[in-house]
Structure 1
């Protein structure tokens, strides 16, 4: 029952994140180019109702993600969020009143089918909640360092796909780190109650990490089209979360011959994720 509820809340989080992404994209394209990666960017976005609505939806999605992580493992919950990409394209297509073409539906089916196959074969399990301080320090240094490198590589680039992909990659690392810290914080809440939760450094860590990842995502959307930022964000977050779940919490996946369906599922997901952003959902249909 816990695993089923974890999957349900993870899917609700994916729906919320997809809706929030579309709303943020609507707001981000109106930002003056000279205000990217600055405090002025936040000021512009705060005056956009679409962005504020997107934030509200994402906060709700974060609550669903926290519940999912409390009920299930990081290695189960985070890959399920890959379904966010086809949902984002479907919602964007509905907003622009442009039907999703057959290629979009086929790629969406590949992502959903591949994800189901990979997770059923891997059957993530195990893990522990006690993480040594040294491992936390190493995790924070590696993830924040990788984010900084992506940002430093993106800043000199002109607006375009490469800049958007680099900011998307930095955001993916930030969201994966946020999920790791959120897992620890929700475990503290379940074990020790609300006071311990609000005084734990992991709580403030995942709030700061989520805010940073959100800011980087806004810059990714301002820098270029979804085709550039979404694959890096979607695949990057899932893969990094899987790696962190195994390294930090000791979670495990089945090996042996199970690696064959896992690999097939991973290929289908990757293929679908690379195809989906190429589907034009942002150009309104001419009436």
Structure 2
């Protein structure tokens, strides 16, 4: 059943749970030892903490809600709403830090909400082909693989701030691929059942992408302050997902006028700017 309203509601629930998991895992990364021992590895240190598993479990629940949202609506509806996870991250992080959210943060949060509303309500996205042939996927997989591996290798040679930023971009891009593969996964399950899940490559691509994304995300958290990595991963995910949904899945916005596209462009720009500002102001 196609319902953008249900897609938005489940996407909002997903954004809330993802936000809590993000704050918890970053707190653990900040407390990781840096003594050069084996336990100083960001990922090994994180998985040894019960709280990390709680945060990861919450993030997985958020992902499950995202999958349900994708079952009701298009990727072009769900992805903008997921950006609102930042709005939930701000108060949660402020509570952990024992501080109040400023008036400026409230303004940018309002602008972010308005931008997402414009993209969803004005765009009125149309569904495409959630399970396109592999030939349509190959260029995106090859180009994306080369770019992301090169970016990750380059990031490892940078200092903490730049490293966190670059790894944040890689993390967001990986989850952008995961989002599109999730849409395919949902369609496969709905039309083919459980057996079809195990006989289609999208399932294994989804597992690989989610695993790599989780690992790189933990390293990006450990590389520096959350304000350096969170804006990059929060913005790169919908940009990559938007691009793939257009180029691979064939989803489209129902906008045909110049003024309509101008409003869409302004909304996208407002979403990017407000996300960056909120991330840097609200999370340390």
For 1:250 and 1:119, the matched residues in 2 are separated by 17
- RMSD across aligned positions (CA): 2.0
For 2:172 and 2:90, the matched residues in 1 are separated by 18
Give 1:228-247 correspondences, 5 Å limit: 228-247=228-247
| Cross-structure match for 2:276 | 274
| Cross-structure match for 2:252 | 252
After TM superposition, which residue ranges in structure 1, 4 or more long, deviate above 6 angstroms?
34-39
Q: What's the secondary structure of 1:255's corresponding residue? A: coil
Q: What's the secondary structure of 1:91's corresponding residue? A: helix
For 2:234 and 2:172, the matched residues in 1 are separated by 7
Q: CA deviation at 1:136?
A: 1.8
Give 1:57-72 correspondences, 5 Å limit: 57-72=58-73
Is 1:218 equivalent to 2:218 in the alignment? yes
Q: What's the secondary structure of 1:266's corresponding residue? A: helix
Structure 2: state its 5+ residue gaps: none
TM-score normalized by structure 1? 0.92
| Cross-structure match for 1:54 | 55
Residue correspondences, number: 281
Q: CA deviation at 1:34?
A: 6.3
For 1:158 and 1:35, the matched residues in 2 are separated by 17
Q: CA deviation at 1:228?
A: 1.1
- How far does the alpha carbon of each residue in 1:157-185 deviate from its partner, in whole angstroms, 9 at most, with x for none? 122x2111100000011001111111111
Q: CA deviation at 1:86?
A: 1.8
For 2:111 and 2:17, the matched residues in 1 are separated by 21
Is 1:141 equivalent to 2:142 in the alignment? yes
Q: CA deviation at 1:97?
A: 1.7
For 1:198 and 1:270, the matched residues in 2 are separated by 37
Q: Is the 8 A contact 2:80 2:116 kept in 1?
A: yes
| Cross-structure match for 1:285 | none
Is 1:171 equivalent to 2:171 in the alignment? yes
Is 1:82 equivalent to 2:80 in the alignment? no
Is 1:182 equivalent to 2:170 in the alignment? no
- How far does the alpha carbon of each residue in 1:110-153 deviate from its partner, in whole angstroms, 9 at most, with x for none? 11111112222211113113412212222211222221122011
Q: 1:281 to 1:248 in 2, by over 3 A?
A: closer
Q: 1:148 to 1:34 in 2, by over 3 A?
A: farther
Report which stretch shifted further, 59-68 or 116-125.
Answer: 116-125
TM-score normalized by structure 2? 0.93
Q: Is the 8 A contact 1:121 1:262 kept in 2?
A: yes
Q: 1:101 to 1:63 in 2, by over 3 A?
A: same
Report which stretch shifted further, 120-129 or 167-176.
Answer: 120-129
